[in-house]
Amino acid sequence: MAYEADKDTIKQTTACQKNFQCLSDEGWKPCTISGIIAENFLAIELRCDVRQCNYCVSFGFGYYCQCPVRKEIYLKYSK
């Protein structure tokens, strides 16, 4: 499935190391999100690799995503 994000959201996503693979790669497998924590954090069900994504954060016993594009994809397409 191809995903789309608002141009302003893409501009906010300045630390993407993967060249927006989530928007261009039909085979992209997103992290499984269990919900939104606070306003800008998505709780990730499984472990993410903090070395491979600038928006992945390990805190306590969980992993969280701060990516504006991933948040928009989650809100737009998870229903």
DSSP string, the chain: ------HHHHHH-TT-SSTTHHHH-TT--PPPEEEEETTTEEEESS---TTT-TTEEEETTEEEE--HHHHHHHHHH--
Tell me whether residue 2 is in a domain. Answer: no
pLDDT of 67 > 90? The answer is: yes
Number of domains the chain is built from: 1
- Owning domain of residue 13: 7-77
Task: Tell me which residue has tokens 């016993």.
Answer: 61
What pLDDT score does 51 carry? 75
**Prediction pTM value:** 0.86
pLDDT tens for 19-32 read 999 999 888 888 88
Tell me whether residue 1 is in a domain. Answer: no
